[in-house]
């Protein structure tokens, strides 16, 4: 098959379309012919050598895709079935082996390209806000990086479920984008302190910054509040004010989706389809694709994503 390979480990942009061996199916897997793959920040970080795949997982990048089953292996799936796929790697290729539990039906009215753009973000947001934090109507949720792909999806899901949403972003343009998606409280982190607006009031915080925000995030938590850290874009180390947290019964959760056992991923995929797909199909969550590029332009897609000029999702079409 043709797939994207990184030809120079010291050059994150050395992503070239080349011939690689077809995947070999393991028990419980199906072979999917990839139509499109979503581009995620995790792919960019992997290309820089800082986010290696879990043991036993292909080095080919790509954490989500959509396509058609061409070999059902030892499963009861049907050849020709169109599916979205949550992956630990392998999306940047013509073929990918996928555990059966990580297959997801296409949302009604969605194409394969559309579906490739939502699998990772939907599973990430639902696993953390819905399944872990227990998001419910009336909660106040603070979302850092509201203008990004995770943030944009999370804003809409929280609003659809009756929560109040506060966001941080670094420009007025991105704050306007968040407001259009339904965000109630807007904070430009370059000009103002989110603690001043939100101290002690947030039931849930979804954070992508990590260490530098740790202490301020805790100051914003309400009693029984949950801080969920899903990335460390600002660095991994910070101060945790435990004495402040204890009487307020606050908790910090550090999570990642990629490294979870396949049994957990199967549960997340099934729960996402059950709870989030109806919100997408009803139009309560609207997804945006910024650009669709050919698979051979993976390096360009990474450059665009790092530029910060992308609003919505980048998709590689195979």
Note whether 147 and 245 are same-domain residues.
yes
d(CA 128, CA 120): 12
Residue among 115, 99, 96 at smallest CA distance from 31: 96
Verify that 95 and 13 share a domain, yes or no: yes
Q: Please give the pLDDT value at position 148.
A: 85
Give me the count of residues in the chain: 318
Please calculate the CA angle 105-108-111 and round it to the nearest 5 degrees.
80
Longest dimension (CA), the chain: 58
CATH number at residue 36: 3.90.180.10
Answer yes or no: do 114 and 144 share one domain.
no
Q: How far is CA 1 from CA 74, 127, 216, 295, in A?
A: 22, 33, 48, 13
Give me the pLDDT at residue 216, please.
98
| Same domain membership, residue 143 and residue 90 | no
In a domain, 282, yes or no: no
Specify the pLDDT at position 145: 93
The half-sphere exposure of 9 on its side-chain side, counting CA atoms within 13 A, is: 5
Better-scored residue on pLDDT, 309 or 57: 57
> What is the arithmetic mean of pLDDT over 249-261?
97
- Tell me: do 131 and 249 sit in the same domain: yes
CB 82 within 8 A of CB 106: yes
CA dist., res. 132 & res. 135, Å (int): 8
The reported pTM is 0.96
Which among 205, 109, 95, 216 is positioned nearest to 154, based on CA atoms?
205
Is 279 within a domain? no
For the chain, the C-alpha Rg in angstroms (whole number) is 19
The pLDDT mean for the chain works out to: 97
CB 53 within 8 A of CB 81: no
Same domain, 235 and 137: yes
The average pLDDT across 262-267 equals 98
The Cα–Cα gap between 92 and 96 comes to 9
Three-state DSSP state, 129 = helix
Domain end position, chosen among 232, 254, 276: 254
What's the structural domain count of the chain?
2
Q: What range does the domain containing 292 cover? A: 2-118+287-317
User: Per-residue pLDDT averaged across 95-103, rounded?
Assistant: 98
Domain check: are 74 and 140 in the same one? no
Dihedral (CA of 160, 163, 164, 168) sign: negative
- Residue 61 pLDDT > 90, yes or no? yes
Domain-located, residue 171: yes
- Average the pLDDT over 255-270 and give the result: 97
How does residue 253 score in pLDDT terms, banded at 50, 70 and 90?
Answer: very high
Task: Identify the DSSP state of 28.
Answer: T
- 29 and 113: one domain? yes
Indicate if 224 and 295 belong to the same structural domain.
no
Using alpha carbons, select from 239, 283, 267, 40 the residue that is nearest to residue 132. 267
What is the tens place of the pLDDT at every residue in 277-318? Answer: 999 999 999 998 999 999 999 999 999 999 977 877 999 999
Q: What is the mean pLDDT of residues 47-58?
A: 95
What confidence score (pLDDT) does residue 187 get? 98
Q: Which tens digit of pLDDT belongs to each residue from 175-232?
A: 999 999 999 999 999 999 999 999 999 999 999 999 999 999 999 999 999 999 999 9
């Amino acid at each position: 098959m043709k797939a994207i390979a990184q030809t120079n480990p010291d050059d994150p942009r050395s992503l070239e379309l080349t011939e690689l061996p077809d995947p070999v199916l393991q028990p419980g897997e199906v072979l999917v012919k990839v139509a499109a793959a979503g581009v995620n920040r995790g792919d960019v970080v992997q290309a820089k050598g800082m986010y290696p795949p879990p043991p036993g997982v292909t080095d080919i990048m790509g954490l989500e895709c959509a396509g058609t089953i061409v070999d059902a292996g030892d499963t009861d799936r049907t050849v020709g079935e169109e599916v979205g796929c949550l992956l630990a790697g392998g999306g940047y290729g013509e073929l990918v082996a996928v555990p059966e539990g990580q297959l997801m039906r296409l949302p009604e009215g969605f194409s394969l390209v559309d579906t490739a753009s939502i699998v990772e973000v939907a599973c990430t947001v639902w696993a953390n806000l819905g399944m872990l934090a227990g998001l419910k109507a009336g909660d106040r949720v603070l979302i850092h990086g509201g203008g990004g792909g995770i943030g944009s999806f999370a804003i809409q899901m929280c609003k659809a479920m009756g929560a109040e949403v506060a966001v941080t972003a670094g420009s007025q343009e991105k704050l306007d984008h968040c407001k259009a998606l339904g965000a109630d409280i807007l904070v430009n982190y370059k000009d103002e302190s989110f603690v001043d607006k939100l101290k002690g009031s947030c039931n849930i915080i979804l954070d992508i910054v990590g260490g530098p925000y740790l202490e301020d995030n805790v100051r914003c938590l309400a009693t029984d509040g949950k801080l969920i850290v899903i990335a460390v874009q600002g660095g991994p180390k910070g101060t945790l004010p435990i004495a402040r947290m204890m009487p307020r019964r606050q908790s910090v959760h550090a999570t990642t989706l990629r490294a979870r056992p396949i049994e957990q991923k199967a549960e997340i995929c099934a729960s996402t389809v059950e709870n989030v797909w109806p919100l997408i199909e009803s139009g309560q969550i609207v997804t945006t694709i910024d650009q669709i590029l050919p698979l051979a332009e993976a390096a360009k897609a990474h450059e665009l994503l790092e530029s910060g000029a992308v609003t919505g999702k980048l998709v590689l079409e195979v």
